[in-house]
Structure 1
Amino acid sequence: MKKTYYLFLTLLFMLLQAAPLLAQDAAVTVSGVVQTDTGEPLPGATVFVKGTFIGSSTDREGRFQLRADFSEPPVVLSVSFVGYETREVSLPQPDNAVQVTLKVNATLTSEVIASASRVQEGILQAPVTVEKLNTQQVERIPTADLQVGLNHYKGIDVNSSSLLMNSLSTRGFNSAKSERLIQLTDYFDTQSPSLNVNTGNLTGLPELDVESIEIIHGPASALYGANAFNGVLLLNSKDPFVTEGLSVRVRGGQRSFFDGQVRYAQKLGEKFAFKVVGSYLTADDWLASNYAATSTLVERRNNAEGSALGYDAVNRYGELGGFTFTNNPADPSYATTPAALRGKTVFMPGFTEQDLVGGDDKAKSVKIHPSLSYLLTSSVKLTAGFNYSRGTASYQSSSRYRFKEFGTNQFHGEIKGNRWFVRGQSVQDFGAQSYDLSFLGSFIQTSTISPDGVGATYAQRFYNTYVGTFRATGSLERAQTAANATQLQPSDPRFQQLRSQIISDATPGRGARLNPSSLLNEGNAQYNLPLAEGTDLIVGGAYRKFRLGSNGNLFADDDARIQNHELGGYAQLTQKLLDERLKLAVAGRVDAFKNFDAAFSPRASVVYSAGASKQHNFRASYGRAFRSPTQLDQYIRLDVGQVLLLGNVDNGFQGYSLTNAAGQPFGTPGASLTSFEYSAAALKLERLSTYEAGYKGTLGEKLALDVNYYQSYYNDFIGAQRFIGNRDGSRPTATQLNQELTRPQQNPAGTPFQERTSQTRVLQVWTNARQEVRTRGAAVGASYSVAQPLTLTANYSLNVLDRSNLPDNFQSFFNTPKHKYNVGANGLVNSRLSYAVNYRWAQGHLYELPFAVGELADYSAVDAYVGYTLPQFYTTLQAGGSNLLDATNTQVYGGPNIGRLVFVGVQVDIK
C-alpha cells in the first residue's frame, strides 16, 4: 500500500512540474448574469466554456465570472440549471455584461448523461434504460442513506439489512451484497476488495458533494466489464472549479439520529482548485428480530417453532446448529439415550441480536474526501484524491455480521481531456472490530463455565440438564424449561467478558472477529476518436488486481495473500443518420481472467428520434453480459458450524445430495446411495443475454413518459449448493460416511461432541446451474408538471421469474417483488419552498440467502421532505422523514423492519 501511495505522489509531482510547459494562458475575463424568463436571478447555475474544463457557477444574484481564451473566437458559453433548458451563448469578443435567460423545462428532458454510452448524450437519446437524479432531487431524499431513496424510481430495488447497509439492483436477483450491479463514484469502483460488498453509501459520496446520480438498468458489461450484469450505479461529484464555497448541513431526529456534513471548495488562481468534504452520521441502528423457525433449506434438522426440543430461530444465534442424539444401535451411547430422544435434535435457546450486539447498536458513518485539481491546459485536467471511509452497520449473507468501524482507504487519480481519460486507484479494506453473530453466539455457548478454562462448557451443562430432567420426569417440556434456565444470561458479567474476548479474537474456530484486509489496484483508460461526420469510435481498456488477505479467517490464505486479476478491452462504434434522428451503435468487450476462460460481451442498439424537436425516442437493444464469481465464491473457507463454506475454482467437488430426486432425505433406510450422488464442477462465468425495447419522450410540454420491456436469459447461473462431501473435493467412501456422519453426537460420559475437524462434512460451494434461468419484466414512469409548484410522478415495475423449466427447490436468489409502484409529488413554491412526498409499495415475495430463506410480506413506506430557503442568510431550513406511517417495511428476510425516522435540519451555502 505504501509503494502505491509513493508512486501516486511521484506521478502527481511530475505532472505538476510539466504543467507550465503545457499551459498557455491567453485568457481574459468574461462576466454576466443568468436569470429566468421573468427576470429572477438563478443562483447556482453553471457556466462552462464549451469544449473546456473552464467553468463557474452563479452567486446569489445570478452573477458569474470566468476567464476565456479568445485567440480563436468565437467562445461558446454553455449555461445550465436544474429544471431549465440548457442554452449556449456565442461570444465573438470578450464581454463583461453577458445576459442569459433560461426557460423552464419541468420535464427534465434536456438532461445530459455520460454513463449509458461512456460519452455525453441527451438522456432522451440513451440507447438503454437509464435514470438520472440531479442535485435538487438528491437534496430532497429524506432517508438516512442516500441509496435507499432510489427506491422511489422505476425498476430499482433497494434492500436494507440495517440503517446504513443497503444493496441495490435492477431487474431482479437482489441480495444483501448487490453482486450483480457495480457501484462507481466518479467512475471509480467503491466495493470492498475482500467481500465484494457494495456497502450502500458507506463508501460513497456525502450528499453535499453529489452533483448527480445515474443508474443504468440491465447488462452493461460491453462497456464496464465484469459484474456490470444487471446495472451500473454512478455517483458524480461536484467540480471544485465550478461549485466553489462553503456548504454545511446538520440534521437531527428520532433514534438519536445526527448527520453533519461539510464541503469547502476553492479555486487558487486559474489553474488550481481543491475541495474537502466530510460527513459524520450516527443513529440507533435497526436490529433484526425474526424468531420464526429457520427454513430446513438452511438447517435441515430443524424442529417446528415452539417445539419442546427447541428450534433454530432466524435471528437467534448460538443454538449450536442443533445437537442430534444417536439413533445408531452400534453407538456406545445408544443404550444410555432415552428412547424418546433417539434420532431427535435438541437446540439451545441461543441469543438475540440485541443480546450480542449490546452497546454496539449505533449505526455510524465517517467519511473524509479531500481532492486537488489542476488544469494542465484549458481542456486537460488532473485530479487526485483520497477517500477515507469508516462505518458501523449490520450486514447479512451467510450469517448476520456486525461491521464495526469497517471501511476502506482509497487513493485515486485521473487525467482527463475532452476525448480521453486515464484513471487509476488503489483500495484497501479493513475489518477493524467487525464480527460474526453466529460465531459469537456459538463460541459463548462452548466456553467453559469456569473463567480458568477448565471443566464443563455451558453447552455441556445444558444438554446434560436436558437429558437428566427428561429421565427424571419423562417430560420434554420440563426438560426444556430446566435446561433453558442454565444458559448464560447477557446480564451476567461472565457473558460480557466472553463477548469481548471472542469479538477481539480472529483465530478460526475460536473467535468471531472478521479480519479482512485486502487490496484492489486498478487502472483504465479510454479515447474517443471521431472518424467522420456523425461517426464516432471509442476504445478503452482496464486492468484490476486483487490481493486478498484474512490470515485464514475468511479465505484459504494461511501462508500468503491470494492474488487474482482481470484484464479487458472494449470498443464502441456509433453512427448517426437521417439528420441525426437515427443512432446506431455496436459495442464489444473482451475480458481475460486468472481462473476463467476469456469472455466476449457485445451490445447493439438503435434509437430513433421522432417529432419536430426529436421529443419522441424509440429504442431497442440487445446486450450480453457476464458475472465473474465474487472473490468469496472463488476462495472462501469459512466454517459456520452446521456447514463448511469452500471456494470452488480448482477441480470441483463430488459428494451426495441432502435429498434425492424422489425427495427422500439422505440416510433414508432402504434408499440407494447412488441416487444421492452429486457433483459440482469448478465455477465458470455466469452469462446473461437481454433483449430490450423502450420509449422515452415528452407529450406536450408537461408530460414525460419512459416505458421499457425486457427479456433476459441467464446461463451458468451461479448459486450456492449444499451437499455431503470431503474437504478435498473427493466423494466420501461408505466408511467415511459411516464414521463421520453416523458417529455419536455425545460420548459415553454424556458430553456433546462439539467440533468437526474431519474430512467429511456438509459443504456449501458456489457452482453453476445447468438450467437456463429466464426472467422478463417491464417498467413505466411518468411525470406531469401541473405548474412549477407541482409535479406529479408515478411509476410501476414488473419483474417475473420464469420457473417453468426449473426443478423443485431450485434456489434462484431472485429476491425481487413481482409488482412494485410509486406515486409522488414535488415542486418549488416562490423560489423558496421546496418539497417532495412519495408513497411506495412492493409485493411480498420469496427471499433467499445462505443465512435465511422465507417469505416477505407486502411492504410500503411514505417518505417526505420540505425545505424553506432564507436567501439573505444563505440558509435552508429542512425537515423530512422516511416511513412516516411506520408501516411494515422488512426488505430482507432475516433482516430488521425499517421503521420511521423523522428529522429536522439546516443547510448553509455560502458561494
Structure 2
Amino acid sequence: MKLVHVHLKLWKLTSLLFLFFIGLHVSLAQSIVSGQVVDDSNFGLPGANILVKGTTEGTYADIDGNFELSTNVAFPLDIDVSFVGYLTKTLTIQQPMTDLVIVLQPLPGYDVVVSASRQQEMVQIAPASVSLLTERKLRSDAVVDPMLSLRNLPGVDIAQYSVGGGQINLRGKSGVFQTETFIIADYRNIVIPSLGFLVFGQHPIDMLDLERIEVVKGPASALYGPGVEAGVVHFISKDPFSYPGTSVSIGAGNRRQFITSFRHADIISDKFAYKITGQYRSARDFELDPNDPDHAERIAGYRTPIVSAITGEPIEATVPDYDQKSYGVTGTLAYRPNENTTLYAIGGFGVYEGLFRTSQGEAYVGSGRPFAQLRLNSGNLFAQVFWSKINSKDGEAFLYNTGLTTVTISDQYEAQLQYNFDLKNDKIDLTAGGDFRLVTTDTKNTIHGRFEDDDDYTILGIYAQGKYALSDKLEAIAAARVDRFSALKETSISPRLGLSYQSSPSSTFRLTWNKAFGAPSSLNLFGDTPLDDTGSFLIYLLNGKEPISFNNDQGYNFITQSITQGGNIPLASIYGLVTSGLASSGQFPQDLVDYLFSITPNFNGDTNAVPTSEPVTRSPLTLSESDMFEFGYKGIIKGRWALNADLYYIRRKNILSAALPIAPFLIYPTAGNDLGASVIANTDPDVLAQYGFTPESLAGIYSNSIEAFTLDENGVPTALGLLKSDNSPPGVGTYDFAYLNFDKVDYWGIDLGIEYFVNDDLSLFGNLTWLSKTLWQELSIANSDLTAPLSLNTPDKRVKLGVNYYPQKGFYYNAALRFTSD
C-alpha cells in the first residue's frame, strides 16, 4: 500500500478529513503529482492551471504556486501547465513525483509585479495602471541615473532640473522641492521625509544592480498611506541567490559626467548568499550665464561669504559651486532557510555633494545618508523595519540667497507588517497590514526655528485589500486604509473600489476609484526660517502647523527701519529725517538748522500706513485630497502587440501651494500732507521770517522732500513698509511667506501605450499622454478671497516614439523621439 502525503492548510485539517482523504486515495489508487509552479525569478504563480492532456482532469496552484494533481490516467502521462501571460508548458511525467518544480516563461509584455497590491500578481491583472521595466530592458538603456530609464514610459514625465537631480511626475503635481510620487527601493521609502523630496545621489541605486522598476500610476493611499497622490515608483534590486557573479561598469558623458560602479554577489551555501554594490558619479552641473540679465540678477543675489547660522563664523565655500559628485556602498546578506522564507539584512550609505535647486533658490548640500534594513518574506508574511539618517552638519549645507548654513540631523524609522490569505475556497484573496513611520529632526534652529522641540513627524496606518472572484472572468477589488497623522492631529480614510474583467487570457479591462490624501512635509509644517536677506528686511517662511493671523497690527517701515503699531510712521521721525537731509545739503543756514532740530519734540502723531491688500489669514495646513476615476485596458493582441490604454478623471482639493506672500506691503499716501500740516502747526512764523520763509513755504519743502520717497514720478504711492503677521519673529522686519491650501481643481487625462515585438530581441514602441488642463492662472486659496496660479508643472501633451533592440548577448541599441507641448 502506498503512503500519500497530503498538503492541507493547518486550520482546515481535522482528523476526520485526514482519514477520509487517506482512504479515498488508497481506494482509487490514483496517479499523484505534486510540486510548485514558478516564474523565472522563482516566484510562485497562484492559480496556475495544471491539466492532464486530452482530459478534463486537473487542478489549480494555491497562493504560493503549490499544487497536487490526482488523476486516474496511468503513467506516463502528459500535463499542460498554463498561467495568464506565460507560455503554456507541456511535460511528460513518467512516475509519481512530490517535488516537481515547473518554471514558466512570460509572454512578451507580461511579468509579475508587487507594487500595485503590495503582493505578487501579474501586471496584466493588477488593479491599477502599471508599467514595468524588466532587467533585460534596463540593461539595454545607457543612462547614468536610474530615474532617466522611466522617460519613455506612458504617463511618466521626468523633470530634470540638474545633471544629477529631478522629479518623477506621474498623475500629480510636480514641484522643484516636493513630490507627490511615492518612491521606494526594495520596499524602503527613499523620499526625504523632512522635505518630501528625493536626492538620488544619497541613495546608491545603480543600473548594474536593478532587476526591475515598477511604476503604479494614480493615487495609492489605500495601501501606502498619505502622500501617495500621484503614484508609486519601486526600484527592485537583484537577489544574490538569483544573480550571483561580478560586474563592473564605467561610463562618461557631457557636462564632464563620469560614472563607475561594481556589483559582486555570491552564494555561500544553499541557505546563505550576499552581495556588495558601490558606485561613484561626478559631473559639472548646468551653469548660470553671467551675460544673461536674468541669470546675472540671480548671481548678484548670492551672499558671500557663507556664514554659520550657529556660530556666525565664515565658512570656506565656492559660490556658486557647479561641481557635483555622489558615491555610496550597499551590502546585503540573504538567509533562506527554506524555499518559502528569505530574510534580508541590508546596510549602506550614500553621499551627495553639489548644487541643490529648491523653490527657495539655489543651495549647496554635501552630506551623507546611511541606512539599514531588515526584511522578511515568509510564505504569505511580509515584515520589515528600516532606518535612515540625514546627517547634514553645520557648514555642509547652505542657501546662496541668505548666505547662511542650514543643519538637518534627521532620523527616519519605519516598520511594515503584512499578511496575505485566502477565504471562501480561494475565492477571496485578502491582504492586511500596517505601517509605522517616525521622523525626528534637529535643525539647530536653522530651519525649524521656534518649533525645534516640537517637530516629530509620525504616521500610523492599517490597511486591508480584498479581491473577490465574482466569476471566472470578473473580479471585484475593495481596499481601505486608516492613517493617523499626529503632527496635524488628523485621521484619513483612503478607500479603493474596482472591477477587473478578463475578456480573454491576454486582455483585461478595469474600472477603479481611488481616494488618496497628501501629507505636508516637515518643512511645510515646521519651517520657521529666513529665505532671503534683502539688507532692509528678511523674507521669512512661516510654519504650517499654526493658524496665521494679523491681530496684533504690527508693521515695519523701510524709512525708519522700525516696527510700529500698524506700520505707522511717527511724524517726528520723518521730520527729523528730512531735516537731516536739508542740513547735509547746505541749503539752510546753520542757525535755521539748529532751530528746526530744536522743535523736533513738538511733532506728535503719525502718518498712517495703508495696506496694499488684505492680509491673508490661514488655518493650519490640512491634508490634501485626490479622487481618481479610471477606466483602463491592458492586453496582448495576436501575441505581438502589447497595448495599454487609460482614461481617467481626477478631482482634487486642498493642494499644497508653493510658499506664497501673505503679508501686504504698506504705503503712505498722506505722508506729505501730514508732515506739511505739522510743520505749519509747529514752526514760529517770526523765526522763519528772519530767513525768508513762511510756515507754508517751509511746509512745501518738507512735503516735497518726503513725497520723493513715498510717491513715484506719477504720484502713485510707493511701498515703503510691510505688515507683520502675529506668527513672524518679533523685533525684526519680515516679508512673510507661507504654504497655503488651494481650493479645488479637476482635470481629465489619457495615457496610451503600444509596443510591437518584432521578435524576441527587437521591439517598436509609441505612447501618448494628454491632460485637459495643467495651469490655472487664478485659483482660489481655500477659505480665502486670495487667488494664485497653480501649475502641475508637466506638459499637457507628450508623444514618444522609439525602438529597442536587446538581444540576450551582444550590443544593445535604443533610440527615442519625444515631443512635449509648452
Give TM-score scaled by structure 2 length: 0.69
Q: Does 1:722 align with 2:706?
A: no
Q: How does 1:240-259 map to 2 (within 5 A)?
A: 240-259=240-259
Q: Does 1:647 align with 2:631?
A: no
2:462 to 560, 563, 569: 569
Q: Does 1:798 align with 2:770?
A: yes
- 1:561 and 1:756 map into 2 onto residues whose CA distance is 17
What letter matches 2:434 in structure 1? G
**1:530 aligned partner:** 422
Deviation string 1:279-319 (CA, Å, 9 cap, x unpaired) is 1112222234497777xxxxxxxxxx9xxxxxx83455338
> Structure 1's 408 and 395: CA in aligned 2 closer, same or farther, altered over 3 A?
same
- 2:491 and 2:290 map into 1 onto residues whose CA distance is 43
Compute the displacement of 1:815 (Å): 0.7
Contact preservation (8 Å) 2:460, 2:485: yes
- The alignment partner of 1:286 has SS state of coil
Task: Please provide the CA RMSD for this pair.
Answer: 4.3
What letter matches 1:426 in structure 2? W
What letter matches 2:805 in structure 1? G
Contact preservation (8 Å) 1:165, 1:202: no
Compute the displacement of 1:415 (Å): 1.8
**1:711 aligned partner:** 649
2:440 to 531, 544, 547: 547
> Structure 1's 372 and 86: CA in aligned 2 closer, same or farther, altered over 3 A?
farther
Give TM-score scaled by structure 1 length: 0.63
**1:519 aligned partner:** 411
Contact preservation (8 Å) 1:196, 1:630: yes
- 1:542 and 1:744 map into 2 onto residues whose CA distance is 63
Q: Does 1:584 align with 2:562?
A: no
**1:881 aligned partner:** none
Q: Does 1:377 align with 2:355?
A: no
**1:826 aligned partner:** 804
- 1:49 and 1:584 map into 2 onto residues whose CA distance is 23
Contact preservation (8 Å) 1:582, 1:609: yes
> Structure 1's 401 and 805: CA in aligned 2 closer, same or farther, altered over 3 A?
closer
Residue segments in structure 2 that go unaligned for 5+ positions in a row: 1-37, 47-65, 71-78, 305-316, 556-566, 569-606, 673-705, 711-719, 722-727, 781-785
Q: Does 1:142 align with 2:137?
A: no
> Structure 1's 524 and 172: CA in aligned 2 closer, same or farther, altered over 3 A?
closer
- 1:202 and 1:48 map into 2 onto residues whose CA distance is 31
- 2:254 and 2:225 map into 1 onto residues whose CA distance is 42
- 2:528 and 2:355 map into 1 onto residues whose CA distance is 21
- The alignment partner of 1:810 has SS state of strand
What letter matches 1:369 in structure 2? T
Contact preservation (8 Å) 1:194, 1:517: no
- 1:547 and 1:745 map into 2 onto residues whose CA distance is 48
Higher RCO (CA-CA < 8 Å; seq separation 6+)? 1
Q: How does 1:185-204 map to 2 (within 5 A)?
A: 185-200=185-200, 202-204=202-204
Q: Does 1:836 align with 2:729?
A: no
- 1:48 and 1:762 map into 2 onto residues whose CA distance is 58
- 1:362 and 1:804 map into 2 onto residues whose CA distance is 37
2:512 to 621, 624, 627: 621
How many residues were matched structurally? 634
- 1:757 and 1:744 map into 2 onto residues whose CA distance is 30
**2:383 aligned partner:** 422
Compute the displacement of 1:564 (Å): 2.2
- The alignment partner of 1:517 has SS state of strand
Compute the displacement of 1:254 (Å): 3.6
Q: How does 1:492-891 map to 2 (within 5 A)?
A: 512-532=404-424, 533-556=426-449, 560=453, 562-579=455-472, 581-596=473-488, 597-611=490-504, 614-639=505-530, 640-641=532-533, 642-654=538-550, 673=611, 676-720=614-658, 722-723=660-661, 725=663, 758-759=731-732, 761-769=734-742, 771-799=743-771, 800-801=773-774, 803=776, 806-807=779-780, 810-828=788-806, 831-844=809-822
Contact preservation (8 Å) 1:145, 1:163: no
Compute the displacement of 1:733 (Å): 14
Compute the displacement of 1:156 (Å): 0.8
> Structure 1's 522 and 828: CA in aligned 2 closer, same or farther, altered over 3 A?
closer
> Structure 1's 100 and 678: CA in aligned 2 closer, same or farther, altered over 3 A?
closer
Compute the displacement of 1:231 (Å): 0.7
Structure showing greater radius of gyration is 2
**1:882 aligned partner:** none
What letter matches 1:699 in structure 2? I
Report % sequence identity: 23
> Structure 1's 676 and 254: CA in aligned 2 closer, same or farther, altered over 3 A?
closer
Compute the displacement of 1:798 (Å): 1.1
Residue segments in structure 1 that go unaligned for 5+ positions in a row: 1-33, 35-43, 52-70, 295-304, 306-311, 321-353, 444-511, 659-665, 747-751, 845-911
1:318 to 287, 292, 302: 302
Compute the displacement of 1:834 (Å): 2.3
What letter matches 2:527 in structure 1? I
- 1:682 and 1:649 map into 2 onto residues whose CA distance is 5
> Structure 1's 123 and 72: CA in aligned 2 closer, same or farther, altered over 3 A?
closer
- 1:758 and 1:402 map into 2 onto residues whose CA distance is 27
Deviation string 1:375-424 (CA, Å, 9 cap, x unpaired) is 24332221111121111232222333444433311111112212111111
Contact preservation (8 Å) 1:252, 1:258: yes
Compute the displacement of 1:157 (Å): 1.2
- The alignment partner of 1:171 has SS state of coil
What letter matches 1:701 in structure 2? G
Contact preservation (8 Å) 2:177, 2:359: no
- 2:388 and 2:91 map into 1 onto residues whose CA distance is 42
